[in-house]
Amino acid sequence: MTIQSMINRNIKYLRPYNPGLFNGKYKLDANENSFDLPENIKIKIFKEAKKIEFNRYPDPYAEKLRSLISIKLNINKNNILVGNGSDELIYYLLLSFINKKDKVVVPYPTFEIYKILSEICGASVIEVPLKSGFDLDVEKMVDILKSNKIKFVFLAYPNNPTGNCFSKSAIKRILMEKDTFVVIDEAYFEFSGKTFLNELKKHKNLIILRTFSKAFSLAALRTGYMIASESIINIIKRVKLPYNINSFSQIAALNILKYENQIRKTCEIIIKERQKMKEKLEGLYYIPESDANFLFIKISKPDLLKKEFIKKGICVRFFSDVRLKNYVRITIGKSKENKLVTDILKKGF
């Protein structure tokens, strides 16, 4: 018997997720907030961290953090589950509900993790290409939902990598399919201001994801949360690892929410820089309207552009998927970084 013959069949042909390794001076490849936490908030976090008893396990359900989120969003804290980033919560969700041969629907292109984790958990994934303009092909999606027993639909809102928010009416139409869980990933909500939170009471099949990794500059500490019906949350608790959120991450996220207004100022800067960048490149490239902290740009000479960015030490996201070879995704950085990018792109690629 060989190791290869013993591999879980669900992952036998799966390639490891490749986030890309940063190798440059300017990091604009991962949709992080380009601004670090303000110093006064760091000092507050470190001061409270000194009180941590490092020999004790963390709060298994992040009670204080969930309570503050519930106050901020005006929802019951029993509808909230905190995870080690949204990825962990997606994994728990699939582990809780996916059975062998279940089907999952995702648009294409979208965040790769939906497909990867679904396949790891044994589901088959149906990709539905987006229409021109990168909106949902809602007619095709609904036909698939009606003719197949679909367990989940995953929708990034705004979508990654395209940056746009899908039509709200299209998503509401998908939510009407009561036998399918609809997961709306609002990782970039603070940049879009658009949410389905007010639909939660109307649709028991709706699950919303949020994160501290993007707008709140906390990517290093991997903290996110899920909002869903209490019955869904209670089922997921059966598979959640006992102490999944460390004490330091809980303290950091708690303080970030307390200083939310200060941190949101960086979002305002990023939104203004995003618009300025798009306007400077208007007419040179096709760039869909972005509601996130990045731009998705259609290019004709990806290899030449990649060399130019490498030469200048700028790390952006190119795609290995042949269907996206003529697109590049660029995180909105600080003003100086954005100028470097636009100066290069103005040369024409």
Could you read off the pLDDT of 26-66 as tens digits, one per residue?
999 999 999 999 999 999 999 999 999 999 999 999 999 99
User: What integer pLDDT is reported at residue 253 of this predicted model?
Assistant: 97
Identity at 124, one-letter amino acid code: S
Question: Which residues on adjacent β-strands are paired with residue 105?
Answer: 126, 153
What is the C-alpha separation between 215 and 258, in angstroms, rounded?
Answer: 14
State the DSSP code for 123: -
* Average pLDDT score over the chain: 95
User: What integer pLDDT is reported at residue 102 of this predicted model?
Assistant: 95
3-state DSSP call for residue 131? coil
> What domains does the chain contain, in order, with CATH numbers?
4-37+261-345 (3.90.1150.10), 52-259 (3.40.640.10)
Higher local confidence (pLDDT), 16 or 163? 163
Quick one: CA dihedral 26, 30, 35, 36, positive or negative?
negative
Kindly state the percentage of the chain with pLDDT values over 90.
Answer: 89
26-36 pLDDT, tens digit per residue, is: 999 999 999 99
Q: Residue length, the chain?
A: 349
Judge whether residue 271 has pLDDT over 70: yes
User: What integer pLDDT is reported at residue 137 of this predicted model?
Assistant: 97
Judge whether residue 21 has pLDDT over 80: no
Judge whether residue 138 has pLDDT over 90: yes
The torsion region of residue 238 among left (phi > 0), alpha (psi -120 to 50) and beta comes to alpha
User: What integer pLDDT is reported at residue 22 of this predicted model?
Assistant: 64
Place of tokens 């961290």: 49
163-211 pLDDT, tens digit per residue, is: 999 999 999 999 999 999 999 999 999 999 999 999 999 999 999 999 9
Kindly state the percentage of the chain with pLDDT values over 70.
Answer: 99
User: What integer pLDDT is reported at residue 11 of this predicted model?
Assistant: 81
CB 248 within 8 A of CB 221: yes
Judge whether residue 9 has pLDDT over 90: no
Judge whether residue 100 has pLDDT over 70: yes
User: What integer pLDDT is reported at residue 320 of this predicted model?
Assistant: 84
pLDDT mean over 205-227 = 97
Distances (CA, A) of 238 to 11, 206, 231, 234, 245: 23, 20, 12, 7, 16
Radius of gyration of the chain measured on its C-alpha atoms: 21
